[in-house]
Chain A
Amino acid sequence: EAGVTQFPSHSVIEKGQTVTLRCDPISGHDNLYWYRRVMGKEIKFLLHFVKESKQDESGMPNNRFLAERTGGTYSTLKVQPAELEDSGVYFCASSQGGQGQETQYFGPGTRLLVL
């Protein structure tokens, strides 16, 4: 079974530019999460999709961040315009949904550097 994949693995952009990160969850997983770790800090939750709906977006830092999950499959996270403090590692995770244990499976992350 393929795991959670993220693209790109690395991105270096200049302040003010736009970057779009993509996450492909494990097939059949209804829940999709975005997290990030900025330099020297702990991993922080950004938002949670259930299928194509945003269940919880309490962690989104500001309106420069836009997440979508059209069709309930893959998700994109767009940062526009990027700022220096957006540099960090962005993780995506997915879980199956339904009752019972909800183990979240994480992707390898996208390393974003804003210059």
Chain B
Amino acid sequence: DVKVTQSSRYLVKRTGEKVFLECVQDMDHENMFWYRQDPGLGLRLIYFSYDVKMKEKGDIPEGYSVSREKKERFSLILESASTNQTSMYLCASSYRREDYYGYTFGSGTRLTVV
């Protein structure tokens, strides 16, 4: 089975810190995604990438950036963490842009900004 691994399950960071959330998938998937999940709001797409060094903004990119230097790794960066970025962050991947098999998700990183 394809595996999507998020490096941390829980993180506590201070306001103003630069935060890196790492995601690695092991099945050669082309597409990778970052979502944040908040109660009552469901999942909201932050950024996604169809290929190495490619990135596209999702619905809520403000305050975030991403990096995809290798196909298997997709990093989410909070340039200057703020308390309103306290959330559950979910990484996902899918095989090809034209494939309709849905996503495989990581277990999530619960980030608290204090």
Binding partners A and B? no
